[in-house]
Structures are given as C-alpha cells and as structure tokens.
Amino acid sequence: MMDALAAYSWFGQLSVVVSVVAVCWTMVWQNLEHIRLQQFFARNINRRARRLAAIVDPYLSLTFEEYEGGRIKSSDAFKEVRSYLTTVSTRDVRHLRAECAGTRDGGADKLVLSMAKGEEVADAFRGATVWWFADAVPPPRDAVPYWSRAERRYFRLEFHESHRDLVLNHYVPHVRRQGRAIMVQNRQRRLYTNIHREDYDDGWYEDVWTHVPFDHPKTFDKLAMDPAKKKEIMDDLDMFRNGKEYHNRVGKAWKRGYLLYGPPGTGKSTMVAAMANYLDYDVYDLELTSVKTNTELRKLLIETKSKSIMVFEDIDCSLGVAGKRRSKEEEDKDVEEDMADGDPRRPGKKDARSKVTLSGLLNFIDGLWSACGEERLIVFTTNHPEKLDPALIRTGRMDKWIEMSYCDAESFGFLARMHLDGEDAEGHELFGVARALLEEVNMVPVDVGEHLTRKSVGDDAGSCLARLVAALEKAKEEEAANKPEAAAARAEEDGKKGV
C-alpha cells in the first residue's frame, strides 16, 4: 500500500515538474522578443525533424496533378506523364484504364491504356529505380459549371533521396520528352476554327478555338503543279521543320510565312492541306472577320499550339487590312470603343463589326507576341496579292510567295493520270488536243479535274477527254469574243448596220 502511495506521489511530482517546464517553455517562447532567436529555434527543430524523417523514410515524392492550381484545362505535364506511363505500366500493371485517342490515319479510335487508380509501377533509369503511383481526389466542391465534375487524377513519382538530381534534372525531362513524342504519334490531328460557339458563351468557357479531326486526303503527290516548284516547296518545308537550331542561333522566332496567290480554283486551300499532311501539323483556320478586336486576336494567338499552320483564307477580303494603313487616330478610336464595350474577353458583343486593325494583324504576325510558341507556319491565301498592304507581305511576315496558276500541259497530264487511273489516257487522240488547247486557253485545275471526273459507270477516258475538249473550245471562243479587237470589230459592224 505504501509502495503504491509512494509511486502515486512520485508520478504526481513528475507531472507537476513536466507541467511547470511546459508552461515555462511556452511563456519563454511566447515572450521571446528577439525574433531571430525564435527563428533560430524553429529552424533547428525543423532541421532535426527533417533529418530524423530522412533516416526513417529516405524517399522523396513528386506529384503531377491533372489540373494544376484549379485550372480548367488538364496540365501538359500530367498528359505527358500519362503517355509515358503507357510504355511502362501496360507491362506490369494488373488494372488499367482505357481512354480514346484518335489515330492519325483515321479509322477506328485507338485505345490509350494507363494505370488505374490505386495502381503502382516501377521504372528504371540509369541504374536508379523509381516508382509511379496513380491516384485521384474528388473534384472541388465549388467547381463551376464547365469544370469537369470527374475526380482529379494525379501521378506521384517516388525515388530515393540519393537520386534527387538524376530524377529532377534528367529522368523527369526524359519522361516529358518521351510522353510528348508518344502523344504526337497517337494524336488525331485537328482543324481548329475561331468561329465562336454561342451556346457556351456564358463567360466561363475558356476555349477560343473549337476543333474537328483533320482528315484531309490531299497530299503533295496528288497536287498538280510544276514538279520543280513542288520540290522547292517541300524542301523549304523540310528546312523549316528541321530549323530549330538555326532559328535559335540567329535569334529568330521559329515561324515562317507563306503567301499563296492565284485565281480561284488553282489549289491554294488544297496546298495548305498538303502542307499540313506533309509536316504532320494541326491547322488553325482563322476567320478574321469573326475576330472583334486586336486583344481577341492576341488571345487566339496565345492559345495556339506549336507544330501548326495558321491560315488566313482570302486575306484580301478580310476587313480593311487589304487597303492602306489606317490613321493612328482611327485605330485609337476603335480601341477606345472596345474598352467601352465592357467585357475584354468577349469584346465587341454589342457591336458585331470587327475592329481588328492592320497594325494589330502586323503585330500578331511579326510582333513580340508572335514568338510565343514555336514551329508555326502562317499562310495567307488571296486572289489579289496586289491589293494587300506591302507591310503585310514583306519578308519576315510572308517569307515565301507561291503562285498557284492555271492548268498547264504538265499539270494536265498529271490530272489526267490521276482521274483516269487504269486507262491509257495519254494514248488517246484527244489527250494531245486537250493539251494543245490548254496552251492557248486559261482553265483552272478545279475545272480540268471536274471535266475529267467520271460521271457515270459508262464514262471512259474518251468521253471525259471529249468533255474537256468541248469545254476548252467553248472557253477559247468566249475568250476570242471578249478580246478588244473582237469588240472593236463588233462595234464597227454595228456602226455599219446603223444599230
């Protein structure tokens, strides 16, 4: 009994001592006037705690979240890691997650496999082993309507402390590079447009571009034009594609401007498709008349991705940019009106008239902002290059001019072989007649192609060529009738008749 009482009193005394020490420590801590001393204690305790933790658990982790900082769009790093892990995880993971990713060549959608939530996989890099974990957290409660209501996924990378430099400076960049390459391989190329979707215009919808899969079948080997000119263009595109080092060396933004000009139906738009297919790039078809302000134009530029062609079709018909530059006062007035419109993200809602100025467009193409992103072609198409402001088409903005012209003998041979495949079109007597007529008459490739297209099962090379010859003869007669000499002769004839 005495022992129990002694122990009880000893325990009581100990608790009193501990409490007094704790109270004193708290008082001292709270009353430490000298802030540096307080920081010194805090640092020391933290350091010791970290050292202790490193002994107990020497593994570090790095997290790649699907939506960084509450953004609506999923993060590039997350997507790259996910793609990279398809090469690692599918071997060893038991539970996979399947997502659709279109193939480049069209056809059925390809499934991209990644680790399902809760799965874990090991990877090796330069002798070090790292581990990837897939997990997810519920979406934020305050998610606005267009945020994804799905779980927010993340990948956690764990590695030994001794591999910190290797992982952060070499392994992670390697993973991102590889992931990007896989994404490029698997991606469905896209055709973007800036035509705005009114149904999403509630002020939250962030995408300024909408897109559809880009599946245009035209390639350079299906484009009728002078072979030397075609080769020159393809070489130029190759130089551009492989020009990263060159552009860095000379300090130029990695972009190039093409001006495609020629009469309607000579293949300007088709050339853009062939270029995109050749380079494996996305296409941004920018409808300038739908862009309300220079600010909106800049936003569109910022939202484009690398490895893309930005096309301005029929630039001579777009706004006032074809003519001369407008005065500074006029442009300033427009900008003031934009500000008065209120919403800078959807400017011009009240006024549908586009207020993009020539200087806005010039800056877009060759100003400071044009250097954001890389590997980008800018293409203008026009029927009237002479109408364009010289500033818009000077070198540096439009670096290469390509004339798309009427069908010549060579292009005709090419189109005949392509359209009348399987038949000896060149051996037909009308082939030479049509070729000779094309030397005299201007006809655009779209019309030549149309006449050479079989219209019924019974159509053969002869009937197609006969149709083309008839059309060429008719065009020749019309051309002759419209010549000034013919008009003068007609006027003289009419004068004699007293008409």
Ligand X SMILES: Nc1ncnc2c1ncn2[C@@H]1O[C@H](COP(=O)(O)OP(=O)(O)OP(=O)(O)O)[C@@H](O)[C@H]1O
Site mask for ligand X (CB under 6 A), range 363-402, x = bound:
--------------------x-------------------
Answer whether 136's CB lies under 8 Å from 153's CB. yes
Instruction: List the interface residues with ligand X, window 445-484 (CB under 6 A).
Output: 445-446, 449
Residue 225 interacts with, from Mg ion, ligand X, none (CB under 5-8 Å by kind):
ligand X
347's contact among ligand X, Mg ion, none, with CB below 5 to 8 A by partner kind, is none
CA-based nearest residue to 314, from 352, 351, 261, 277: 261
State how far Cα 69 lies from the chain centre: 23
Count how many Cα atoms sit within 13 Å of the Cα of residue 481 in the half-sphere of its side chain.
6
Map the footprint of Mg ion across residues 378-417, applying CB under 5 A.
none
Closer CB to ligand X, 313 or 334, in the complex: 313
Residue placing its CB nearer to ligand X in the complex, 188 or 381:
381
Regarding 354 and contact with Mg ion (CB under 5 A), the answer is: no
State the binding partner of 186 from ligand X, Mg ion, none, CB within 5 to 8 A by kind: none
Selected from 134, 224, 377, 425, the binder of ligand X by CB under 6 A is 224
Contact status: 269 vs Mg ion (CB under 5 A): yes
Report if residue 268 touches ligand X, rule: CB under 6 A: yes
Q: Token pair for residue 57?
A: 């658990």
The smaller minimum CB distance to Mg ion, of residues 265 and 348, is found at: 265
- How far apart are the C-alpha atoms of 407 and 225, rounded to whole Å? 8
The stretch near ligand X (CB under 6 A) out of 236-244, 261-269, 427-435, 467-475 is 261-269
Q: What residue 405 binds from Mg ion, ligand X, none (CB within 5 to 8 A, per partner kind)? A: none
- Contacts of residue 477, defined as CB under 8 A and 6 or more positions apart, other chains included, come to none
Report what 267 binds from Mg ion, ligand X, none; CB cut-off 5-8 Å by kind.
ligand X
Residue recorded with tokens 């007094």: 20
Q: Using CB under 6 A, pick the residue from 265, 347, 348, 373 that binds ligand X.
A: 265
Nearer to ligand X, 134 or 225 (CB): 225
Check if the beta carbon of residue 75 is closer than 8 Å to that of residue 65.
Answer: yes
Judge contact between 114 and 86, C-beta under 8 A.
Answer: yes
Under rule CB under 6 A, residue 270 binds ligand X: yes
Footprint of Mg ion on residues 322-341 (CB under 5 A)?
none
Binding mask 2-31 for Mg ion (x = CB under 5 A): ------------------------------
Residue 442 in the binding site for ligand X (CB under 6 A): no
The token duo for 401 is 């001019």
Question: How does DSSP assign 155-211, residue by residue?
Answer: EEEEEEGGGHHIIIIIIHHHHHHHHHHHHHHHPPPEEEE----GGGTTTT---S-EE
- The residues that bridge with 155 in the sheet, in sequence order, are 64, 134
Q: Which is nearer to ligand X, 83 or 266 (CB)?
A: 266
| Per-residue contact string for residues 86-105; x = within reach of ligand X by CB under 6 A | --------------------
Whole-Å CA distances, 320 to 261, 346, 349: 19, 21, 20
Helix (H) or strand (E) holding 120: strand 120-125
Task: Decide: 129 and 163 in contact? Cβ < 8 Å.
Answer: no
8 Å CB contact between 398 and 259: yes
Cα separation values, 422 from 124, 156, 305, 469, Å: 55, 59, 42, 21
Among 85, 172, 223, 441, binds ligand X (CB under 6 A): 223
Q: 359 to each of 313, 332, 337, 389, how far by Cα in Å? A: 19, 11, 17, 11
| Residue number with the smallest Cβ distance to Mg ion | 269
How far is 7 from 72, CA to CA, in rounded Å? 64
Q: Which of 3, 152, 135 is nearest to 68 (CA)?
A: 152
> Residue 208 touches which of Mg ion, ligand X, none (CB < 5 to 8 A by kind)?
none
Question: Can you point out the beta strands (E) in 321-478?
Answer: 376-382, 400-403
What residue number has its CB nearest to ligand X? 267
Please identify which residue in 89, 114, 188, 269 interacts with ligand X, judged by CB under 6 A.
269
Residue 318 binding ligand X, by CB under 6 A: no
Using CB distances below 5 to 8 A depending on partner kind, what does residue 422 bind out of ligand X, Mg ion, none? Answer: none
Q: Closest approach of Cβ 223 to ligand X, in Å?
A: 5
Look up residue 235 and give its two tokens. Answer: 């070489």
The footprint of ligand X on this chain (CB under 6 A) covers a number of residues equal to 15
Q: Which is nearer to Mg ion, 285 or 338 (CB)?
A: 285
**Footprint of ligand X (CB under 6 A):** 223-225, 264-270, 383, 404, 445-446, 449
**Footprint of Mg ion (CB under 5 A):** 268-269
